[in-house]
Structure 1
Amino acid sequence: MTPPQNLLHPATFATAPPSGLDAPDVARIMAIGTAVPPTSYTQRELLDIFGIEDPRIRSVFLNSAIDRRYLTLPPEDSDGGRIMEVQGELLAKHKAQGIDMGIRAVQECLKRAGADLDDIGYLCCVTSTGFLTPGLSALLIKELGMDPSCSRLDVVGMGCNAGLNALNAVAGWARAHPGRLAVMVCDESCSAAYVFDGTMRTSVVNSLFGDGAAAVAVMAGDDGEPGPRILKFASHIITDAVDAMRYEWDSAQDRFSFYLDPQVPYVVGANAETVIDRLLAGTGLRRSDIAHWLVHSGGKKVIDSVMVNLGLTRHDVRHTTGVLRDYGNLSSGSFLFSYERLLDEGVADPGEYCVLMTMGPGSTIETALVRW
């Protein structure tokens, strides 16, 4: 007797995916491009540059599972020290570096997609490392010389999870405009959001984040194109932990400052199953059927907690840990750097499923299911 469709192993879905997961208007990720600043530093180099001798802070830096990060440090003074930038200078850094990295990421993405600037019908820019009006979308359209009638969206201040929130909106636009190209840029200049006050709270943040931008091209309505199909999204807000991650004004330092509760990794991990179960509900898929996992590089403890709660292996999160090691936490663009590594590895076969997962303030967990 033939078993019901929802009991078939997904290997049989190479030609017949589960009902509802292969709609004709589904959007695809066509290409990706990334960019970072020209300067990078090891954790030990950063400790030496800022003259940090406190053994507790040094331990945080050196046991972070991060080898190197791309950063734009404050300028040097006459004695070789670093001049602490005021908020206006940090905002100027966010703008200048965001435009530079954003331009390069978009150009690389279009090159890989075989597309031109004139092909872009929708541009979405994501950032949490500065506030600009007009936003990065308008600035990039101007600097790139794009069509000024291009539709656009700025997603500002959502945090590390925002890349998937924005991808949901971008995929929706693409489905409503089949054959038109939409581009999302996650553009984070974390060097423009640092506070140096010598406390353990700010030191944990300072040991973690790096600068980088990632752009993805998305299109619906052309099944002949390569790239994974974006099938479904699922979200979960942990309302009891709404203050666990927050970016707020620090009156003592006269600038914005990021707060990260030490319990965040365990809270996120404890809720990971809830959102993954919601993502896979109705698909006929089980967690063991997912061939690839691209989890936000939120930090060593975050990754370990998600691994334990979802039963993932070190191999499953190899790109997540690799991006953390080589770039640090890139905020909203981290999962896209992992996605680029998965593509470069060339191991994703037609019919295989992949889960994308990001975490951030709220506290929130965002997920997406894609299929090659």
Structure 2
Amino acid sequence: MVAIRSIETAVPATVIRQSEFRDLLTGQPGYGRLGRRLVGAAFDASAIETRHTVIEEFGDGAGPADPAFLDRESGAILVPGTGARNDAYVRASRPLIVDAARKALAAAPDLDPSDVTHVVTVSCTGFSAPGPDYVLVRELGLRPSAQRYHLGFLGCYGAFPALRAAEQFCRADPDAVVLVVSVELCSLHVHLDDDPDTIVAASVFADGAAAALVTARPAPSGVALLDLDAFETTVIPEGETAMAWSIGDRGFDMVLSSYVPRIVEQHVGDALEPLLERDPEIRGALAAGLAPAEAIDRWAVHPGGRSILDRVQTALGLSDEQVDDSRSVLRDYGNMSSATVLFVLRRLLHPAGREPEAGAEAVIVERELVGAGAGAGGVADMGAALPAAPAIIPPASTPAQDARPERICAMAFGPGLTVETALLTRRLSDGR
């Protein structure tokens, strides 16, 4: 069975608190009275507390000597061109993807970098050639013959085509090991505008990276896995103009209509049906009268925003517990586009309560940011503060907690309006 063996994440060291960034924006002379009111409303309703950014001058520290995004003296947000923003993307994305990928490899100690046969990278917030796929081969010491693929400009659902491709590679070659890495630096494209779409985007999007190892090779006994059972994709034509991502002169421009949550609520049930019909067990449960929320244990809903989560929860009748991981990621990190659902899936792979102690993940993040100090590109360097692998590998869960495999449904939404869905099973390896 093709499965995700590990998922690890990386975030920039600079943290922006939602309330402070709201106040920074409302103080900008580029906003009129209506714009300031919209900023306050969007930020206060976001259900986000903190986000991470590669723009160091947005943080509490001194920042760079020659800041490109904020004039420290006047407090004015600057407006660099698209080229300067993309240059920042190239510089800052590289240490993030390497950090996440190294941790993903360390979390599967029976696999070596030389075992990786394919690299699939995902990003919609910048471009370069050679790109992130090349950087990973070089920096991680992967075999030069590793096949490389980059999926660009897909939007928030980009991790799904990447995982689907990885699953197909492993199905074709059971000895394959695929490294999937997503990196999104959304904050680089912030700019001032009274347009509600731009304001909503400024209130939710953030920066982060995530890496997953996918293989059909047997895992050591007791290791938690996420089997990749099925994938589906569909397009909602009604939303074609409601969500879009294009290249502008002042960075990339986001169209994010306020109608998107309503469109998702109306169509998410129909979009999910083909996926659920592919699984005999779930199909039987639905035929017996169970709702999807009853037939599937846990849900990884891409937290595009609070309204998206609210509408999906209402449409599918999900419990608060079933969307708690999605809401927690939104609260702590914001919307990191394609990387976000991998943050959610990592929490489902290693659920709270099955870690060594409550809040262990938060302690790791805090130690990354404060105890270790920032390394190149503003990425916190764990090496000085934490042992490389033991600190990031959760211990085996207790037998009672993991006796029954758990079915998981993951979904994300993006331009088109595209809906990507996947069925997974969390289980413990039997070593075969």
- Equivalent residue number for residue 192 of structure 2: 196
Identity %: 31
Select 1:317's aligned residue among 309, 320, 323.
323
Unpaired runs of 5+ residues, structure 1, are: 1-25
Deviation string, structure 1 residues 304-331 (Cα, Å, up to 9, x no partner): 1111111111111000000000100111
8 Å CA contact 1:175, 1:221 repeated in 2 = no
Structure 2 residue aligned with 1:39: 14
Residues 49 and 364 of structure 1: CA distance in aligned 2, closer, same or farther (over 3 Å): same
Quote how far apart the aligned CAs of 1:302 are.
0.6
Q: Distance in 1 between matches of 2:402 and 2:416?
A: 32
The correspondence for 1:57, drawn from 28, 39, 46, is 39
| 1:247, distance to aligned residue in structure 2 (A) | 1.3
**Inter-CA distance 349–179: structure 2 relative to 1 (3 Å threshold):** farther
Name the stretch that deviates more: 206-215 or 66-75: 66-75
Instruction: Provide the C-alpha distance between the structure 1 equivalents of 2:117 and 2:74, rounded to a whole number of angstroms.
Output: 47
Q: Equivalents in 2 of 1:367, 1:142: separation in Å? A: 32
Answer whether contact 1:353 1:370 (CA < 8 A) is retained.
yes
Residue 259 of structure 2 corresponds to residue 284 of structure 1: no
Instruction: Indicate whether 1:106 and 2:106 are aligned.
Output: no
What is the letter of the counterpart of residue 13 of structure 2?
Answer: P
User: Which residue pairs with 2:307 in the alignment?
Assistant: 301
Q: Name which of structure 1's ranges 49-58 and 156-165 shifts more when overlaid on structure 2.
A: 49-58
- The corresponding residue for 1:244 is 242
Q: CA RMSD in A?
A: 1.8
Is residue 130–residue 192 contact of structure 1 (8 Å, CA) maintained in 2?
no
In 1, Cα distance between equivalents of 2:304 and 2:322: 16
Structure 1 residue 56 displacement after superposition: 2.4
> C-alpha deviations, 1:80-115, integer Å up to 9, x for none?
524322211110121122111100000111111113
Q: Which moved more, 1:115-124 or 1:294-303?
A: 115-124
The answer as to whether partners of 2:80 and 2:250 remain within 8 angstroms in 1 is no
Q: Deviations over 1:232-291 (max 9, x none)?
A: 1111111232221111244xx543211111111111121111122211114231311211
Relative distance call for 1:349 and 1:127 in structure 2 (3 A) is farther
- Aligned equivalent of 1:369, options 415, 423, 427: 423
Q: Partner of 2:386 in structure 1?
A: none
SS at match of 1:316: helix
Q: Give the 3-state SS of the residue equivalent to 1:207 in structure 2.
A: helix
Unaligned runs of 5+ in 2: 58-66, 287-291, 355-400, 428-432
Give the secondary-structure state (helix, strand or coil) at the position aligned to 2:321: coil
Query: Does the alignment pair 1:125 with 2:121?
Result: yes
Residue 249 and residue 31 in structure 1: after superposition, are their counterparts in 2 closer, same or farther (change >3 A)? closer
TM-score, normalised on structure 1? 0.88
Residue type of the alignment partner of 2:133: S
The residue correspondences of 1:321-340 to structure 2 (distance < 5 A) are 321-340=327-346
TM norm structure 2: 0.76
Residue 264 in 1 paired to residue 260 in 2? yes
2:402, 2:309 → 1: CA distance?
Answer: 22
Asked whether the 8 Å contact 2:10–2:96 carries over to 1, the reply is yes
Partner of 2:129, secondary structure, is coil
Summarize the alignment of residues 97-246 of structure 1 with structure 2, pairs less than 5 Å apart: 97-114=92-109, 115-222=111-218, 226=223, 227-246=225-244
Confirm or deny: 8 A CA contact 2:115 2:177 kept in the other structure.
Answer: yes
Q: What is the aligned counterpart of 1:351 among 387, 405, 410?
A: 405
* 2:376 corresponds to: none
Using the alignment, how far apart are the partners of 2:153 and 2:403 within structure 1?
35
